[in-house]
């Protein structure tokens, strides 16, 4: 069975090796050594140069001893900031950071789980099909490693990505795509008391745009929101500038495109 002490000590070892997005090199090298030790066939791609990282995606393959569909397990190697010189401590049965950095359990708890599970499989050799492990770079800054994966190296169709909070056993099977819309409306300033007809109000144009938008719950798969409407100015000046920020989410690619262009059209019409 799993050895709790070994899992904890591997996790502590992993989080102590800094791997902020773009600087995963040290951890990447350590993981390759550990995967080699497990007897996995390890290779790397060239995603780092495209993703702006000093490391690459790692692919590790473990032969099966029976003919079944290959299973893939994946995690990301990078962490958010501040993730340098992490000192993990154990307090009342919980692993925490000392307080001045993140802990890095996202995603090193997942990596630890995968490596320890595969180690157990190697030791006990139960019946299992081919297993592939894929460890990616720079997830936290826009899934840059995953976007530059070498699909020719991927051996199967079913992949578990161990990277979510919540109760053990929870599985996320889909997530929405997300578009952010940033709009800057330029008006024309004028003295509102003396010559308002010489001005063009950016606030009024922005308000016009928003009032024509279909927002919030669009359908069961699609949402849209305006979260920011900024226009700071004097009460006696026709507003020269406004900034509107919103977003659209949908589980359906066509719907997100349609809703996004609807918001853009509303903004353009009002600005015209
Ligand atoms: Zn994560």
Which tens digits make up the pLDDT trace of 175-187?
899 999 999 999 9
The full 3-state SS of 38-51, as one line of letters, equals CCCEEEECCHHHHH
CA of 260 to the centre of ligand 1 (A): 27
Catalytically annotated residues: 78, 139
Average pLDDT over residues 212-216: 98
Interval between CA 114 and ligand 1 midpoint (Å): 14
Residue 1 above 80 pLDDT? Answer: no
Residues around ligand 1, an ion, CB closer than 5 A: 106-107, 163
Residues β-bridged to residue 95: 90
- Expressed in angstroms and rounded, the spacing between residue 168 Cα and the centre of ligand 1 is 15
Token code pair at residue 227: 């979260």
Return d(Cα 8, Cα 109) in angstroms, integer: 9
pLDDT in tens, 81-109: 999 999 999 999 999 999 999 999 999 99
Dist. CA 105 → ligand 1 center (Å): 8
What span, in angstroms and rounded, lies between the C-alpha atoms of 148 and 16? Answer: 27
Q: How far is the CA of 76 from the centre of ligand 1 (A)?
A: 7
Residue 171 vs residues 39, 151, 266: alpha-carbon distances, Å: 29, 23, 38
* Region at 92 (left for phi over 0; alpha for psi -120 to 50; beta for the rest): left
Encode 2-24 in three state secondary structure: CCHHHHHHHHHHHHHCCCECCCC
pLDDT at residue 165 greater than cutoff 90: no
Report how far apart, in Å, the C-alpha atoms of 122 and of each of 30, 38, 126 are.
19, 7, 8
Q: How confident is the model at residue 169 (pLDDT cuts 50, 70, 90)?
A: confident
For the chain, give me the number of helices (H) and strands (E)? 7, 11
Confidence of residue 2 (pLDDT cuts 50, 70, 90): confident
Nearest Cα residue to 67 out of 17, 130, 117, 156: 130
Give dist(CA 238, CA 226) in Å, integer: 23
Least confident of 10-24, 46-60, 103-117, 157-171: 157-171
State residue 266's pLDDT score: 98
User: Which pLDDT score is estimated for 98?
Assistant: 94
Q: Binning pLDDT at 50, 70 and 90, where does residue 144 land?
A: very high
β-pairing verdict for 131-136 and 71-76: parallel
CA of 27 to the centre of ligand 1 (A): 16
Tens-digit pLDDT profile for residues 37-75: 999 999 999 999 999 999 999 999 999 999 999 999 999
Q: How far is the CA of 200 from the centre of ligand 1 (A)?
A: 46
Mean pLDDT of the residues in the chain: 96
- What value does the mean pLDDT take over residues 238-255? 97
In this structure, the dihedral spanned by the alpha carbons of residues 170, 171, 177 and 179, taken in order and rounded to 10 degrees, is: 20
- Set out the domains of the chain in order of their start, with CATH numbers: 4-161 (3.40.630.10), 177-271 (3.30.70.360)
């Amino acid at each position: 069975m799993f050895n709790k002490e070994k899992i904890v000590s591997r996790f502590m070892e992993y989080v102590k090796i800094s791997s902020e997005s773009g600087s995963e090199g040290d951890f990447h090298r350590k993981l390759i050594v550990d995967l080699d030790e497990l007897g996995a066939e390890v290779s790397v791609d060239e995603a780092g140069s495209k993703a702006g990282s000093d490391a690459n995606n790692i692919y590790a393959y473990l032969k099966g001893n029976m003919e079944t569909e290959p299973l893939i397990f994946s995690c990301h190697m990078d962490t958010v900031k501040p993730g340098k010189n992490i000192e993990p401590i154990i307090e009342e049965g919980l692993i925490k950071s000392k307080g001045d950095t993140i802990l890095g359990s996202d995603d090193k708890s997942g990596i630890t789980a995968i490596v320890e599970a595969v180690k157990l499989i190697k030791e006990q050799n139960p019946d299992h099909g081919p297993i592939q492990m894929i460890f990616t770079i720079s997830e936290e800054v826009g899934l840059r490693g995953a976007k530059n994966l070498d699909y020719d190296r991927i051996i199967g169709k079913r992949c578990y990505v161990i990277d979510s909070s919540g109760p053990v056993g929870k599985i996320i099977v889909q997530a929405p795509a997300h578009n952010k819309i940033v709009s800057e409306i330029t008006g024309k300033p004028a003295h509102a008391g003396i010559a308002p007809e010489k001005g063009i109000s950016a606030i009024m144009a922005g308000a016009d745009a928003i009032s024509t938008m279909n927002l919030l719950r669009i359908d069961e798969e699609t949402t849209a929101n305006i979260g920011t409407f900024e226009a700071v100015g004097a009460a006696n000046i026709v507003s020269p500038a406004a900034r509107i920020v919103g977003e659209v989410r949908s589980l359906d690619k066509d719907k997100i495109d349609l809703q996004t262009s609807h918001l853009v059209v509303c903004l353009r019409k009002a600005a015209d």
